[in-house]
Structure 1
Amino acid sequence: MAKLYVVAVTHSQPGKEAELQKALLELVAYAKTEPGFVKYDLHVAEENPGEFLFYEVWDDQKSLDLHANTDNMKAFGEKYGHLIKTTSLSKYKLL
């Protein structure tokens, strides 16, 4: 079965860069325990400390859907959503 590759880019609210980075790092540790996890790496832009990129690899769409709907992800949104200005998500398949 083909893996699902995901690139998610999140921008923090101005002045909330460090707080959001700390919160996002918590997501990394949790995602690594989820079913279907293959890779979940967090990056920060060198020239923009408020821009974060997740490079994710999941077994399939079902695994990504489970990840997105966990109680942990819902709680993250409620607790830290105010720190986020924008988020975009793109999905890819390996050719």
Structure 2
Amino acid sequence: MILVTGSILAREETFDDVLRSSLEHVERSRKEPGCISHDVHVDCQNPMRLFFFEHWTDEAALRTHFAVEDSKVFVRSLKGRIVETSGTKIYRAEAIPR
């Protein structure tokens, strides 16, 4: 399993637009093969920050996701609309026995 986290800090005047784009990206990504979950959350301490949390079956599925043209378009669309990005962090996780 692969876990991915990241965050972006939107400009106040672009927040609604960035949130809408982020939600569209999340909904589209959830339909990709290998996506277990893909979420975006508004930070309760800084409401201009959006936090992404993704769960993928394996590295191949994640690489495919990053290569999808719509994913690239989403990332490019953030230029000029955000103040900063935390960068993507990728974690390999073992399944937790039940």
TM-score for the superposition, normalised by structure 2:
0.83
- Letter of the 1:67 counterpart: H
Mapped contact 1:8–1:53 kept (Cα < 8 A): yes
Q: Which has the higher strand share?
A: 1
Counterpart Cα distance in 2 of 1:27 and 1:55: 12
Q: CA RMSD in A?
A: 1.5
Alignment of 1:51-70 (within 5 A): 51-70=49-68
CA change 1:39–1:80 in 2 (3 A) is same
Counterpart Cα distance in 2 of 1:44 and 1:16: 14
Long gaps (5+) in structure 1? none
Long gaps (5+) in structure 2? none
Query: How many pairs does the alignment contain?
Result: 93
Counterpart Cα distance in 2 of 1:14 and 1:53: 16
Counterpart Cα distance in 1 of 2:89 and 2:74: 20
In the alignment, structure 1 residue 90 sits paired with structure 2 residue 89 = yes
Q: 1:24 — aligned with what? A: 22
Mapped contact 1:4–1:93 kept (Cα < 8 A): yes
SS at match of 2:48: strand
Aligned-residue sequence identity (percent) comes to 25
Counterpart Cα distance in 2 of 1:48 and 1:26: 22
- Letter of the 2:30 counterpart: K
